Structure formats: C-alpha cells, structure tokens
C-alpha cells in the first residue's frame, strides 16, 4: 500500500475539450473549462488548480490560468468509452463498469404505458412529458402544478426520467415513493433508464421558483460488481460524499454524506479528512452541473470553480504525506454551448500528494476505469479488468 487514504473528487460536468467521438453526440467544439476561461477574459482565478496542473493537461492553457512550471503533481485527461454521457455512465466507468449498451432515451416524451401507470399509482395527472430544461419547465408549469397537484414529468438528452413537484403541494416522502415506483417501470427489458430524479422546488410563482437540495436520484442498480464493491469486500473503508450513494444505489459504500451544495460537500470532505481510516473517499460536487452547466450560466460556473479552488487550498494544506488526491470529472457540460444537455468531452485528471518529489504528464487515459484500477492497485485489490493502473507512475 502506497497511500493510506485516497480522495477521489469528481467536479461534476467540468470537461476539458471535445472528445474524439463528440460529433456522434452533436457536441463538436465543446470545451467547458476553455470556454468558461474565455468568458472571464483572464479573470478566472484558480491558483490551487493551476499549481497542480489544470492548465498543463490542455493543449492550450485556460485563459487566466497559467500552466505550472513545476507542478509537483501529475496531470492528464481521461476519455470515456461508455455509450452515454450521463453522470451514471461516467461514475460507473470510473469504477470499472463501462456502460456499453446505450440506455433508453425519450426525445418525444415517455410512452403512454409508462405515463398511464404513473398516473394510476400516484392518483395524479402527469403534465409536461417532453425533453426540457428543468428550470424552464418548472417556471412554465409550476403554478399549474401548485393548483392541481399534478406531476411535472420531463427528460433530457440523457437517459433520465425527472419528476418535479412543489414541496408544499406534494410532500417529499410522497414524491420519493412515486419516483421509486417509476424506477420499477424502467429496469428493462423494454425500457432501461439510467436515473429517475426527484426534482422538488419551492417558491410562490413562476418567476421565483427554485429547485431545492432535496433532489434525489434513483439510479439503475449496477449491472455488475464495481470497484467500490471490490474495495469493501477486501475490508477497505469506502466513503461516499454527495450523489455517489445514489449513483451506486448504496452498493459498496460504508459511510455516506448527502450534499446540500458544493460548499457543504467540501465541509464533508474536511470532516472526513479529520477521520483516521484506511480507504477511499469518493466525492461528487454537483453544483457545476445542476446549477450552472444545464442552465448555460458561464458566470455562475466560473464563480463556482473559484469558490471550489479556495476550498481546495484547505484540503491540500490538511493532507498527510500518505494521502492521495485525484481530481476529475464525469462528463462535460459547457455552459456556453447550445441546448441544455451534457457535452461529450475529455475530463481532467489531476493527481496530487504532498509526498510527491516530482510531477509530470499521465497522458490520455482511456477508459475512465484507469481511475478505479489505480485505487484498487494501491490497496492490493484485484478485479478491475477494464482499466490500467497508473500508480507506478506516481513518484
């Protein structure tokens, strides 16, 4: 064992340039980090990420974020092989389980048999039923939902079924039960959906509705063993922060924390860093994606990156010599791009430990499973046949 604790931190949706297969997804030219940097015109301040190579891994540095001359960290990019570009695909692939068969998507809304069953189970009418931005459809139909108690059902370019309801009209427990039932309808074989997402919101009217942190993802059960299971079975302690628990349906996780926001998530990271354990802490920070990427808000996205960078400085200062920090993303979501969906991009890979005597390039790693293979290798656990460990490259 080289490191006692590994912290794997996923900056949800922080891509770093169009992947080679981006044209297949209609995402050619997407570049989340690059375009956010351009939006800030040199004023994007990410000193801690810069210090450990976030611009070194790119062909051209992020505007305002210089490449480090002596990063004392390792950096590269990861390229996805999964058939989708959703959070579930990215996280599962990181943990040794690429999604090779495309999941069901619904560009024309959900079929009548699913909607009829939802209405019968819930005793509520379904409205919406189309691909749409969540904030837009809630602003449009939220007042009607408050008056009638209907369910706002919608989807996106990803394999998701989302159900929105005002928290004062449909209690959270009821909304979650409806989502659990929806989950049971799309586990195959006819329809196989990656995630059912409960989208509660609050506010008095269409101009003031806001989605709350009581979102909950009901993810397809992992179709096979993941690296989290392998670690847990080997007696390695596994901590999940943010929506990790939802993405893996609780499998392979010993200790879990729900995030209210990115900063709440970083509070949980600070807390876990104070614990004395041997194992892996897997973290997802979703605000980049949910609050700014889908809403095509580059200003908010950049501010969230700068807020994260400040908290990253605290994490780095508190790391022990036998700690390893691995920062990456699960997909892109370029806030300057057309539409409102995720974007198929390379994702950054930045790896740091205070014990490093040098740094350097890890190149382009594919599949994402190299990430999990490295974690397993560190703890002497076998079983990830998809990825290749880069542990030996870390010196």
The Cα 66–Cα 68 span in angstroms is 6
CA dihedral over 115, 119, 211, 102, signed as positive or negative: negative
- Asked if 354 and 323 touch (Cβ cutoff 8 Å), the reply is yes
Tell me the binding residues.
12, 289, 294, 330-331, 342
Rounded Cα distance between 224 and 62, Å, is 38
Q: Which residues are annotated as part of the binding site for Mn(2+)?
A: 12, 289, 294, 330-331, 342
Phi, psi angles (nearest 5°) of residue 2: -90, -40
- Number of CB atoms found within 10 A of residue 324's CB: 25
Q: Give the residue from 120, 192, 121 showing the smallest Cα distance to 158.
A: 192
How far apart, in Å, do the first and last CA atoms of the chain sit?
14
CA proximity to 119, closest of 182, 165, 186: 182
Strand partners, 165: 200
Read off the tokens for 108: 């024309």
CA atoms within 13 A on the CB side of 115: 18
Cα 25 from chain centroid (whole Å): 18
CA dist 161 and 147 (Å) reads 23
Rounded Cα–Cα distance for residues 261 and 153 (Å): 24
| Cβ–Cβ < 8 Å for 232, 250 | no
Helix (H, G, I), strand (E, B) or coil at 73: coil
Contact (Cβ atoms closer than 8 angstroms) between residue 84 and residue 21? no
The structure tokens 């992947």 sit at 19
CB of 58 within 8 A of CB of 33? yes
CA dist., res. 241 & res. 283, Å (int): 5
CA distance 112 to 46: 48
Beta-strand pair 151-155/126-131: parallel
């Amino acid at each position: 064992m080289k490191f006692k604790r590994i912290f794997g931190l996923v900056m949800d949706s922080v891509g770093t340039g169009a992947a080679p297969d981006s044209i297949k997804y209609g995402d050619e030219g997407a570049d989340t980090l690059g375009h956010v940097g351009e939006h800030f015109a040199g004023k994007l301040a990410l000193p801690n990420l810069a210090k450990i190579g976030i611009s070194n891994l790119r062909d051209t540095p992020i505007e305002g974020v210089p490449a480090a001359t002596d990063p004392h960290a390792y950096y590269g990019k990861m390229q996805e092989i999964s058939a989708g570009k959703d959070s579930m695909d990215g996280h599962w692939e990181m943990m040794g389980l690429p999604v090779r068969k495309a999941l069901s998507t619904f560009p024309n809304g959900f079929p009548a048999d699913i909607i009829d069953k939802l209405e019968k189970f819930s005793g509520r009418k379904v409205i919406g039923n189309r691909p749409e931005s969540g904030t837009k459809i809630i602003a449009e139909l939220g007042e009607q939902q408050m008056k009638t108690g209907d369910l706002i059902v919608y989807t996106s370019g990803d394999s998701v079924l989302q159900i929105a309801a005002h928290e004062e009209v449909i209690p959270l427990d009821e909304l979650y039960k409806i989502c659990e039932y929806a989950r049971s309808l799309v586990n195959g074989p006819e329809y196989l959906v990656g995630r059912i997402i409960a989208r509660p919101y609050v506010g008095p009217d269409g101009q003031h509705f806001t989605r709350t942190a009581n979102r909950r993802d009901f993810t397809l059960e992992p179709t096979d063993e993941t690296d989290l299971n392998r670690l847990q079975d080997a007696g390695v302690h596994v901590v999940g922060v943010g929506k990790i628990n939802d993405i893996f349906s609780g499998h392979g996780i010993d200790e879990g924390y729900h995030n209210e926001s990115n900063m709440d998530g970083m509070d949980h990271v600070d807390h876990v860093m104070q614990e004395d354990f041997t194992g892996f802490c897997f973290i997802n920070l979703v605000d980049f994606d949910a609050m700014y990427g889908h809403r095509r808000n580059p200003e908010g996205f950049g501010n969230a990156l700068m807020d994260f960078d400040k908290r990253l400085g605290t994490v780095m200062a508190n790391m022990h010599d036998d700690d390893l920090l691995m920062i990456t993303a699960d997909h892109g979501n370029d806030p300057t791009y057309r539409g409102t969906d995720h974007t198929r991009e390379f994702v950054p890979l930045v790896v740091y430990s205070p014990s490093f005597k040098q740094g350097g390039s890890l190149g382009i790693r594919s599949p994402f499973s190299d990430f999990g293979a490295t974690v397993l290798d560190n703890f002497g656990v076998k079983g990830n046949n998809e990825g290749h460990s880069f542990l030996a490259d870390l010196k």
